[in-house]
Structure 1
Amino acid sequence: MPFRKLASIAATGILGATLGLAVPTAAQASHTCRSPGVTNNGDGYGIMKGGYNLKVAPYSDCGNVAFLGKGTKLYFWCLSFNEYGTPWMYGRVAGTSTYGWMSIENFSSMTGNRGICP
């Protein structure tokens, strides 16, 4: 294979790989990690069934606020569904002034009112 043709194929492969890295995946492009509006219209709480990260927005790939261990209580402010239809609670960690989002799948028990976020 002539050198010029080989170099052209290599350059095309490198360019394609580089462009592929620059294009976000569908999951990354579909949402931002901005918290939706919240209001304190819940009076319930949930108990963590294991150790999970409290999030800055209602998506598992968003940034972490704090790690909550098994048995931690989260006081509910409001419930929101992300664009995938997954329900998340916004609330305050008991005994702290730490707030954030937690998937309802991570609670072993939930009690009280779970008001909807605006």
Structure 2
Amino acid sequence: MRLFRTAAAIASAVLLTTTLGLTVASPAQASHFCGSPAYQNVDDGYGILKGGYNLKTAPYSDCFNVAYLGKGTKLYIWCQVINEYGNFWVYTRVAGTETYGWMSWDNFSEVTGNRGHCTPYLL
């Protein structure tokens, strides 16, 4: 009888761990699109943020944050992509830093450059 209780306890622990693992992992996961596309510096422009926004790890709003950037921050633009929702995003470097990430075109008040596309186009 003791062996049965031990086996039942182990089976319950495994089931609970598996269930909790799936439950805990799901909310923490970002969009399945959060793998960053390839990027390279093919643009000589920059953009100025019109408000405070999060720099992202990939070109989607639900991807992970790299850094919060305030209004007026200057970002050097490397290249752009159009994501699966048809939104334009640019890969950037924050002026005066070695901080890189993705920012939506919608967040800029001023933009210069040639809008070069990131290659290969991997979204």
The TM-score range, normalised by the shorter chain, is 0.7 to 0.9
State how far apart, in whole Å, the 2-side matches of 1:81 and 1:114 are.
11
Aligned equivalents of 1:112, 1:47: Cα separation in 2? 12
The separation in 1 between residues aligned to 2:56 and 2:33, in whole angstroms, is 13
Partner of 1:6: none
Q: Deviations over 1:11-69 (max 9, x none)?
A: xxxxxxx9xx96x7xxx76x331100001101000000000000000000000000110
Give 1:94 shift. Answer: 0.1
AA aligned opposite 1:68: L
Q: Say whether residues 1:47 and 2:48 are aligned partners.
A: yes
Q: For 1:89, give the aligned amino acid.
A: V
Alignment of structure 1 residues 27-66 onto 2, 5 Å: 31-66=32-67
Q: Which amino acid aligns with 1:54?
A: L
Aligned residue in 2 for 1:75: 76
TM-score (ref. length: structure 2): 0.71
**What number of residue pairs does the alignment pair up?**
95
Which residue does 1:15 correspond to in 2?
none
Q: Structure 1 stretches (4+) deviating beyond 6 angstroms?
A: none
1:83 CA displacement: 0.7
**TM-score, normalising length: structure 1:** 0.74
1:99: which partner in 2?
Answer: 100
In structure 1, the gaps of 5 or more residues are 1-17
Is the partner of 1:77 in helix, strand or coil? strand
Unaligned 5+ residue runs, structure 2?
Answer: 1-18
Q: How far does residue 113 in structure 1 lie from its aligned partner after superposition?
A: 1.7
Within 1, Cα distance between the matches of 2:99 and 2:115? 19
Query: What is the distance in 1 between the residues matched to 2:76 and 2:92?
Result: 5
> What percentage of aligned pairs have identical amino acids?
68
- How far apart in 2 are the matches of 1:113 and 1:73? 17
Q: Secondary structure at the match of 2:106?
A: helix
